[in-house]
Structures are given as C-alpha cells and as structure tokens.
A and B are shown apart, each in its own frame.
Chain A
Amino acid sequence: MGKTILRFDEISKSFPGVRALDQVSFSVQEGTVHALIGENGAGKSTLMKVLFGLYKADSGTLWYDDQESTIHNPSAALACGISMIPQEVNPVNNLSVSSNIFLGKEMLFGPKLVNQKLIDQEAVRYLEQVGLDINPRTLMKNLSIASSQLVAIATAISDNSRIIIMDEPTSALTEKESNHLLGIIKKLRQQGVTVIYISHKLDELMTIADTYTVLRDGQSVESGTIHDITKARIISLMVGREMDEFYKKKKSQIGDVILSVRDFSNEKDFKDISFDLRKGEILGFAGLIGAGRSELMEAIFGLRGTEHGILTMRGKQCAFKSPIDAIEAGIGFVTEDRKESGIFPDLSIMDNMIMPVLKPFSRGYLIQKLQALVVCGKQIQVLNIKTPSTLQRIKNLSGGNQQKVLLSRWLLTDPDVLILDEPTRGIDVGSKAEIHKLVSELAASGKAIILISSEMPEIISMSDRIIVMHEGRNSGVLTREQATQETIMHLATGEAVNGQENIK
C-alpha cells in the first residue's frame, strides 16, 4: 500500500437542527479501495460532499496529498483529481456518450470548433478501459443504468482522477453487471487509483474493499483493514446506539384482522408480499432505502399498479383503482416526502388539512369555512402545532409542524388503517416524540397502523411486529421480542435470507 493520500481530521458539519458530521477522522491510503459504511443518515453522503467541495465543513481540516485541502467547489475537486459518481448518475441524456465524457473539456481538442471525430476516438479509448464496447455516438438516454455507471467511471478516468468516490454504484445493477463493475474497480486500484466506496451490500464490501470506516450518527466509529473484521461486527458497529431517546409504544388491545394483503407483486419494486394487519397494531416495515417499502404502500393505496395480488379489507376483497377508493375504504397515507407528495405549499393550514374531506365540510357545494376553522383549530391545539393562525400558509411552518398538519389531514378522514411512511424524517426531536406518542395513542384507540421507518430505534420501539424487506421481498418477520438492531440489519442486508428459518 502506498502513502496516505487523504486524511479527514475532525471534520464537523451541521445543518439546522442536525449535526450531520461530528469530528470525523480517518485516513485513506493511495491505491486502495476504502469502504465507507453506515446506516441511512449516518453522514456518508454529507462527508463525501464535503470532500467533493459541495459542502463546506464547519470545522476540521481535510488533508489531501499532505496539504491542507482548499477545495471549495466541484470544479476545483475535479482539477485536483477527485471525481464523484453519485448514486444516481445524472448525464446529459440527449447528448452522445463521447460528448458526455468530454463535457466541459472540449477545448482539450483545440481552441475553436468542437472536433467530434477526435472526441469520439478518445472516448473509445476510455470506454475500452471500463470494458464498454459501444458506439461513442450513442445517445446517453439509450444506455442501461449499468452502462451509464461505466460511462461515469470512464469520465472519471478521463479526468485523470486520483480519487474516485462511488456512492452505492451497484444498487440498481444486476449481479452480473455488479461483478463487471467490481472487476473494473480492481483494475483501477492496480493502476494506483484510490476508490472510496459506499455500499450497503456487505458481501460486496468484503470482496472489494481493503480498508473501511464505519460512520454512525455523524461520527467515525472505527477504521481498519477489512480482513480483520466480520460482517456481524460491522452490523453491530453500524447500529450500536442508545435507544432511550425514543418513545415506546404503549400496550394496546390487538383485535381482528382489518387489512390483509396476499402475494402483492409488481414488475420491479416488490415481490410476493403477504401480511395481515390487525386493529390496535403497529406493523413496522424495516429495510434499506430502495427495498420497495414505499412502492408497496403506494400500490396498496391505489396510486401504483400491481401485477398480481389480493387485498382484503374487513374481510371484503377490494381493488383500489385510485386513492379515491382507498380513502373511501378507510385508509390514510402520510407519504415519505412532505414536499413532493404531501403539502400544498401556498395553501393555508386549514386547506391542507381538509383537502381529502372537503365534501363533508361543504353545504350546497360551498365550503363552510367557519365550521372548518373550528375543527382545524382544535387539531392545531391537540397536536400542539405551532402557528400564529389556522390560515397561515403551510410553507411558513417548520418541518415538524408541517408533518403534524399532514397527520391531522388523515386523522380528519377518520381512517381505520393509517400508513405512515417515514413520519419523523428530518424533524426535530420534540416533534418526533410528540408524533410517537400520538401514533401510540391512535393504536390504543383501535386504529391499525403501518409504520415505515429507516430509523432502527424508532421502528423497534414503536412496532408490535416488524416485516423486514430486502430487494422487494419479505426477508423475515420479527416479533417485538425478537427485534433488535442486529436482527433487523441481518435481514435488511440480505445476510439472513438463507438462515431465515432460524429466526422464524
């Protein structure tokens, strides 16, 4: 192994309300593959964005080649020989492969007009290095995800990169494509390129990485060489966290089955999912990002089609063609992304709350504003939403308060089944605890709740039962007693797919 090429020295970075990086320190040797490991939200991407100049660290120093790094933007990073390949590569789809590789570097081939022929020739040279045999004039949009990844790597090679950051490069690839990619990475390593590799797939890390660093809650927990560590140890390092900050679900009377799902599948997101949901129960859905949990819920709610599968509600078979049917049947759905599929930013808190229940609030087609104001005012009080007025535009509220408004929205529909997708993501600790308490009380009052969460302590302390999903499949069901961060992580990373019976 070569000399130290990169050293993070007590790097810290905060965002409003969150300490994303907390004195992260570790070093990377030249010509190695360094695995950066951690749960969702552990700070891996933030750290890499600091390295790439997209974020500025609040404190700490970054040593690159034994010099204090002065990289403040991505073009400076590229000039210093650092490339980043994001999880979802973002090429200019309507340009050719060769144009994408040399985007912004066209002047290398002469000062005036773009010399397409020369560019194509050069492009082929780099494409060969990543084992991609395609016409350089192919439009980017016609490539598969795997090929786009390889083009991104070819671009990084053409930039003479000394360090290439790869963020979950194989998450959308088939096994064969992944193996090809891993082969390319090994070849790069031989040529002296340093790779920082982020992945949730532990098997992959064990084969490709030389060294590792585990991040947890923004802190660097441990670094070392990959030969000296086991998968089990990595998992316990990733999740080893205190749990006392979380509210625990109160005991509730668990009643009859209200919703039952059998063999739900669609083309790509989830496969053969079956479960029963009972009154008074909180059913957790755990898994890594991309495991297909949100897509499954969207299908149940009628927002997304399924290939096959049967949904039964209160013993009656249903087929929800749209959310209209699902709401009618008594399902509520607080989605994962408040901004994309939750709030109406320019409308008032009141309008945001009553949108699914406008009809009951109207007489002769006109909305009874007074009546709505009273009901929404009460919700604001009960959920402790901090706002000067019921008619305040929702976009002026904090994330936590917006989330409470969305919860109110669905409570007003008086659902029997409430689906909560990451209900506390990105909101402050106070609101989080309040939402946990509320959800627990809802279950106690007989509502059936589905809780998706990527936060282990949340899902463990709130759920009566946990279904763990891995790559679209149910990889195991855990009771409250069985559920620990380790058992969940085993199932979520697909480690336990073979040993599943042991847990059951």
Chain B
Amino acid sequence: MKSNHFGLKTIMNNGFLEKYGIVFILFGFSLFLSFMSPAFLSVPNIMNVVRQVSIIGVIAIGVTFVIITRGIDLSSGSVVALVGVIIASLSQTRIVMSQPVSMMLHPVIAITIGLVVGLILGVINGVLTAYGRLPAFIATLGMMTIARGGALLYTAGRPVTYLHSVYTQIGTNSIIGIPIPIWIYMVIAVFSHILLSKSVFGRHVFAIGGNEQSSKLCGINVNKTLVFVYAYAGFLSAVAGVLLLSRTAAGNPSYGVGYELDAIASTVIGGTSLSGGLGSIPLCVVGALIIGVVNNGMDLLGINAYYQQIVKGLIIIIAVLIDMNKHAKE
C-alpha cells in the first residue's frame, strides 16, 4: 500500500491529532454552523456563547484538577446554589449605623464571604477524601446533598430576588468590549493553566493521579495536596455561583442542578482521563466550548431543546470512547 506522506495519516501517526483532535472538532462544528446560520459567526453571538460557557467552564477547571488526581467532585452544582443564596441574602442585609441611617453591606464583603464558603466546603470534601479515606464519589455526593439542603433551608426554599445593581453589573458590563464573566473565565483559565503545568503544586497533582504510592515515596504530602485540590474546586464553584447570581439578579436554591455533570463532561471531552494522571486546562476550555457551541448552534437552527440533551450525551460517549482507544493503543 502506498502511504500518503503529507496526508491525515502523517498527522495521526505523530499523535498530533490524538492530542489536539478536540480543537479540530471545535473548529469543525463552528465552521459547519457558520454555513448553516450566518448569525453564528457574529461577534455578539460568539460573546454570548462564551459568556454562557463561562459558568460551567470555571467549574470544569476546578474539576479538571480533581479528576487528574483520580477523584471526582459532584458537589459543584449545589455549591453554586448555596453560595448564590448566601451572597444574595447578604446583599440585602442592612447594617444599622445609627438610627435611622443604615447602609448596605459592601458587595466586596458579601462576595468574599460567598467565596470563602465555597472554599470551606471544598476543604471539607478534601479532608473527607484524603484523611478520611472516603471515596471521592461518596464524599462529594454527600456534600452535594448537604449543600443543596443548606441552600433550601437558608431561604426556606424561596429565591432571593431584587439584587442591587452592583451585583448584576458583573454579569452585564464589559471591559474593552468583552463581558466581565469572560474576563473572569480567561483570567482563571490562564492562572490555572500556569498552576497546573508549571508549578510545583501542579506536578504534585499529576504525580498523585499517576501513582499515589510513588508520590508518597517521592516525599509528596499527598493528603495536603488533595485538600488543596478540592478546596480550589470548591472555590471555583463559588466563583461560578457569583457569575450565575450576577446574570440572573437572584439567588435561587434550585440553581445549578446538574452543573457538576456538565463540568465533568467538559473536562472529559477535553481529554482528561478519569483514571487520573492526565489532563490540561486549555483542552478543558475547548471541551466546555464544544458543549456551548453545540447548544448555541442547535438554538440557532431552531432544533428542539430536548435534542440538545441527546447530542450532548452522544458527544460525551464518543469523546471517552476515543480517549479509551488512545490508551488501549499505548
């Protein structure tokens, strides 16, 4: 058989397509959609897609760290809701200075408290997993239910609405033409990429996922590292909670249901292996964008939203099949 030296085969053999194939799929989808619907490639639409993606995308970045250590975090969606209602109700807390003067709790303080709550819940996940030796699935499944229950209890099941415009500005304003949620997403992605791929902490994360026993022997404090990983994931879920709050101008205890699964899906589509030790932040972003583009495209084409669920499921299955094939070959 004659081999085609400059064709697809060469690219395949280099492992290039295997590693970055997901990027081509994103471009392929985008190209297809831009032919089908001229509206797709417009700047406002692209901005819209990325802004929609940013919430799940931020969670997925934290989840990527967790999955690289061979763990899982199912609590993200509930943390989003709990943090949302906490900040929303804090925003309506008035501090009485001297009658009748009272002032609003400063938004920075309210948001900081919300982020700290997310961080603490993450720490608890980490402690249960690392020191308590609980399977991450169980620890975070418990946290998922507890945080959701906490959110419902906190507001007696009702949404907290009429947020001050300071909060909604995060979701609606732009800096040099780019919406603030996208900025936040980008900054977190770049920071996390450097953290994961260039820092000592990042090497430890990969080491633990690749071989926990070897990690211990190399003098890595495995438990401490795991607590940091889950804490970071909890913190990023809280950030996602802030983004959702600012988009919807409300904190709602039933927000964020299923976000953890979308985040895991983005991570997995981005090539992070559920068996640990492998993964990257840029590809996790691409994974999240693929889900966003497909959803947006089907919206534009007027396809029934129920189909979107099915297509998303198919993408997840196909992505993991490709990933497993890759590993089987190695």
Q: Which residues of A contact B (CB under 8 A)?
A: 301, 303, 322-324, 326-328, 333, 335, 340-347, 351, 355-356, 358-359, 362, 365-367, 369, 395, 409
Evaluate contact between A343 and B214: CB separation under 8 angstroms.
Answer: yes
**Given A344-B210, A345-B277, A346-B210, are A366 and B217 neighbors across the interface (CB < 8 Å)?**
no
Report the Cα distance A347→B330, complex, angstroms: 14
Most A CB atoms within 10 A — which of B194, B211, B213? B211
**Given A346-B277, A347-B207, are A333 and B217 neighbors across the interface (CB < 8 Å)?**
yes
7 A-B pairs within 8 Å (CB atoms) are namely A303-B217, A327-B218, A342-B214, A351-B203, A359-B200, A366-B194, A367-B200
Contacts of A335 in B (CB 8 A): 217
Q: Which of B199, B207, B211 contacts A367 (CB under 8 A)? A: B199
User: B201 within 8 Å of A by Cβ?
Assistant: yes
Report the Cα distance A367→B217, complex, angstroms: 20
Shortest distance from the beta carbon of A417 to any chain B beta carbon, whole Å? 15
Report the Cα distance A335→B218, complex, angstroms: 11
Report the Cα distance A410→B37, complex, angstroms: 59
Interface residues of B in 217-266 (CB under 8 A from A): 217-221
Evaluate contact between A366 and B216: CB separation under 8 angstroms.
Answer: no
Shortest distance from the beta carbon of B63 to any chain A beta carbon, whole Å? 19
Evaluate contact between B211 and A395: CB separation under 8 angstroms.
Answer: no
Interface size of B in residues (CB-CB distance below 8 Å): 23
Evaluate contact between B217 and A341: CB separation under 8 angstroms.
Answer: yes
Contacts of A328 in B (CB 8 A): 219
Contacts of A367 in B (CB 8 A): 198-200, 203
Identify the 4 closest CB pairs spanning chains A and B, nearest first: A344-B210, A341-B213, A327-B219, A355-B218
Report the Cα distance A467→B230, complex, angstroms: 46
Report the Cα distance A362→B214, complex, angstroms: 21
**Given A323-B216, A323-B218, A333-B217, are A345 and B199 neighbors across the interface (CB < 8 Å)?**
no
Contacts of A347 in B (CB 8 A): 206-207, 210, 277
Report the Cα distance A327→B221, complex, angstroms: 12
Most A CB atoms within 10 A — which of B206, B214, B220? B214
A362: nearest residue on chain B (CB-CB)?
A: B200
Shortest distance from the beta carbon of A29 to any chain B beta carbon, whole Å? 46
Q: Which residues of B contact A (CB under 8 A)?
A: 194, 198-201, 203-204, 206-207, 210-211, 213-221, 277-278, 330
**Given A358-B203, A367-B198, are A324 and B217 neighbors across the interface (CB < 8 Å)?**
no
Shortest distance from the beta carbon of A215 to any chain B beta carbon, whole Å? 32
Evaluate contact between A395 and B330: CB separation under 8 angstroms.
Answer: yes
Contacts of B210 in A (CB 8 A): 344-347
Contacts of B214 in A (CB 8 A): 341-344, 355
Interface of B is mostly: helix
Contacts of B278 in A (CB 8 A): 346
Evaluate contact between A344 and B198: CB separation under 8 angstroms.
Answer: no
Evaluate contact between B207 and A366: CB separation under 8 angstroms.
Answer: no
Evaluate contact between B213 and A358: CB separation under 8 angstroms.
Answer: no
Contacts of B199 in A (CB 8 A): 362, 365-367
Report the Cα distance A362→B202, complex, angstroms: 12
Given contacts A322-B221, A341-B217, A351-B203, 12 further A-B contacts (CB under 8 A): A303-B217, A323-B217, A323-B219, A340-B213, A351-B206, A355-B207, A355-B214, A359-B200, A367-B198, A367-B203, A369-B198, A409-B218
Report the Cα distance A366→B198, complex, angstroms: 6
Report the Cα distance A203→B201, complex, angstroms: 54
Contacts of B217 in A (CB 8 A): 301, 303, 323, 333, 335, 341-342
Evaluate contact between B200 and A365: CB separation under 8 angstroms.
Answer: yes
Report the Cα distance A273→B237, complex, angstroms: 52
Report the Cα distance A281→B184, complex, angstroms: 59
Contacts of A303 in B (CB 8 A): 216-217
Report the Cα distance A346→B19, complex, angstroms: 14
B279: nearest residue on chain A (CB-CB)?
A: A346
Evaluate contact between B200 and A358: CB separation under 8 angstroms.
Answer: yes
Shortest distance from the beta carbon of B215 to any chain A beta carbon, whole Å? 8
Report the Cα distance A351→B211, complex, angstroms: 13
Report the Cα distance A307→B234, complex, angstroms: 40
**Given A355-B207, A365-B200, are A344 and B219 neighbors across the interface (CB < 8 Å)?**
no
